[in-house]
Amino acid sequence: MPSQCPTPSQISVASSAAALTNLLQLDNNKILQEEIRRKRVNTSASEQERLLRTELYLIV
């Protein structure tokens, strides 16, 4: 039974899809970081710390 190797075209499409997914994830993280920054302005110290940790997690 012959093996099913991906064609160069299939590899290119998969690579492009993966790159687009990564860019969308980065964009979503930036949006979430901005929302967190806005929330930190008028919150308690413990809530600010929690939001900052969440923001740092999104950066990494």
7-56 residue pLDDT tens:
988 888 889 888 888 888 888 888 888 888 888 777 788 888 888 888 88
- Give pLDDT, residue 56: 82
Give CA angle at 37 (27, 25), nearest 5°. 15
Confidence of residue 1 (pLDDT cuts 50, 70, 90): low
pTM score: 0.49
**28-43: b or e for each residue (b if 16 or more CB lie within 10 Å)?**
eeeeebeebeeeeeee
What sign does the CA torsion over 48, 60, 34, 17 have?
negative
